[in-house]
Amino acid sequence: MKMSESIKRYEDEYLKIKGVDKQQIIHYRALGKLWCEIMGDTELSSITLADISLFKSRMATYGQHRCNNTIHNYLCNIRMLFKYWKLRGEECLDYTIIPAPRKDPVIPHFLTAKEVEQLIDSTNIIRTKFIISLLYASGIRVSELCQLNRDTIRDGMFTVIGKGRKPRICFLDARSAFYMEKYLSERKDRLEALIITKEGTRASVSTIQMIIRNACDKAGINKKVSPHTLRHSFATNYVANGGNIRHLADLLGHSSLNTTAHYTHIVNNDLYREYMAHHTC
């Protein structure tokens, strides 16, 4: 069985039946394409640990730049692929001997509340104002935003289906509610989608990303800003204002507190007060 076939069958026989996130399937498809481009469409049974090591070293310099964390994710996908086929009785490398490189620590980029306001004020387009305000107020992912419908939000609350198909409750503030009412009142269509394009279709992730980039350029903010930056900004603002880290994990849909704890490294009011009280210059 060729590598390309092994990934296609893994997708059809396991990932789709399990009902994993669509993005995870896209990652496996990208892995298959990349492997075939770098290593050729090799037989699964002939792949050795040396081949995987060579793939790792070539991956870092092939085409676009890939950071260590991206490479880590690809190698973890390879481990899962080999684990599946080993359990199916196929002749292939033992997945337990395939090491995954350490992930680099990630420091989230964020905007201050003043910069978010600057971003909102930079445009006269109500849809853009609403998108920015809602992402910052709720901390939802851009993919979750695209799934929302008109009737999703009631009394300042709504539910999204996040990673792992886990539902969680989210909230919006008065500013977001104001822009939402204004945006929906200006629409003449009867489409159920909360955010639509000028062509009258449900907004995609790439559409929202472009809207945020354009607003950032207009605002003159000299930072790399994406929809996920607004999610980080929501979390950082929450921690800075003394929010409970466990509640923040629920709001963000994190299954592990270790993920949420990244924001305490950015804003630690207790540590700052201790520093100011005990440091002299």
Neighbours of 30 (CB within 10 A): 14
Rounded distance between C-alpha atoms, residue 278 and residue 236, angstroms: 25
Q: Is 231 a catalytic site residue? A: yes
Q: How many residues does the chain have?
A: 281
First-last CA distance in the chain = 68
Instruction: Select which of 27, 163, 168, 218 is catalytic.
Output: 163
Evaluated on CA atoms 71, 74, 79, 80, the torsion sign reads positive
Strand-pairing partners, residue 193, are 149
Rounded distance between C-alpha atoms, residue 138 and residue 239, angstroms: 14
Q: Is 27 a catalytic site residue? A: no
Instruction: Select which of 86, 103, 228, 262 is catalytic.
Output: 228
Q: Is 228 a catalytic site residue? A: yes
Instruction: Select which of 127, 175, 231, 232 is catalytic.
Output: 231
Rounded distance between C-alpha atoms, residue 69 and residue 53, angstroms: 16
Q: Is 263 a catalytic site residue? A: yes
Q: Is 163 a catalytic site residue? A: yes
Instruction: Select which of 141, 183, 232, 238 is catalytic.
Output: 141
In what helix (H) or strand (E) does residue 206 lie, and over which residues does it extend?
helix 205-219
Q: Is 175 a catalytic site residue? A: no
Q: Which residues are the active-site residues?
A: 141, 163, 228, 231, 254, 263
